[in-house]
Structure 1
Amino acid sequence: MARLSIRVDLGPDHRLGPGKVRLLEAIAEHGSITAGARALGMSYRRAWMLVEAMNRGFGAALVESQAGGRAGGGARLSALGAEVVEAYRAVERAAQEAAAPALHRLAARCPEGAPPTKT
């Protein structure tokens, strides 16, 4: 089945796409940047850099961290972070629905599993 992969360009150095949104969802699901990164096969450093870039781009924290200690550390999405994920997923759903007929036509012309031909 053909599907779209959406990247939203919000500014010159500010983009939001499926990888960043999956990272936010993984952080929300696993309760920490470390565990979210691990679930995606990503290094903590890379995940932290992506979170910092998103925080800068939106001008506020999408992920709120809690330092370790007796109660343990962790991270969760801020209200803005949850809103960003939902808005991105809404854009994705709307685009997929709008593009479905054209995607179906394209997919019908591309036998599944067939390697692309050279032009």
Structure 2
Amino acid sequence: MPSLSLRIQLDPEGRIGPGKIELLEQIAARGSISAAGRAMEMSYRRAWELVEELNTLFGKPVVERQTGGRNGGGARVTDLGQALIMRFREVEQAATAAASEHLAALQAEIDRPTDS
């Protein structure tokens, strides 16, 4: 079945999409940028670049690094980052719901036998 992939353009240079949102979700779940990157088969450097891009884009931290004690540091998704995840997922669900009839019609066209 056809599906939507949502990207939200926030300014001429910045956008958010499913990859960045998944990265935030993984950081929230794992407490670490490096662990989140590994879970997504992404290098730590790339994960950190995306986090920095988001922090810069919003002008305040979406993810904060935590200096560690015995077990080392980590990272946490801020309240802003949690709100970003929630809003993106809500927009994604609303867009999918609004497009569902059209997506089903596209699938019907795909499934229709060809005219001979």
**What code does the residue aligned with 2:53 have?**
A
Pairwise CA distance, 1:69 = 3.2
* Structure 1: gaps (5+ residues): 112-119
Where in structure 2 are the equivalents of 1:70-81 lying within 5 Å?
70-81=70-81
The equivalent of 1:115 in structure 2 is: none
The equivalent of 2:114 in structure 1 is: none
Answering whether residue 84 of structure 2 is matched by residue 84 of structure 1, we say yes
Pairwise CA distance, 1:85 = 0.4
Structure with the largest fraction of strand: 2
Whole-angstrom CA distance in 1 between matches of 2:52 and 2:63: 9
Q: In percent, how many aligned pairs have the same letter? A: 52
Whole-angstrom CA distance in 2 between matches of 1:30 and 1:5: 25
The equivalent of 2:94 in structure 1 is: 94
**What code does the residue aligned with 1:67 have?**
T
**What code does the residue aligned with 1:72 have?**
G
> What whole-Å deviation, never above 9, does each CA across 1:67-117 have from its counterpart, x for those lacking one?
233242111100000000000000000000000000000012224xxxxxx
Answering whether residue 26 of structure 2 is matched by residue 11 of structure 1, we say no
The equivalent of 1:116 in structure 2 is: none
The equivalent of 1:55 in structure 2 is: 55
Report the 3-state secondary structure (helix = DSSP H, G, I; strand = E; otherwise coil) of the residue aligned with 2:110: coil
Higher mean alpha-carbon deviation, 102-111 vs 34-43, is at 102-111
* Structure 2: gaps (5+ residues): 112-116
Where in structure 2 are the equivalents of 1:17-36 lying within 5 Å?
17-36=17-36
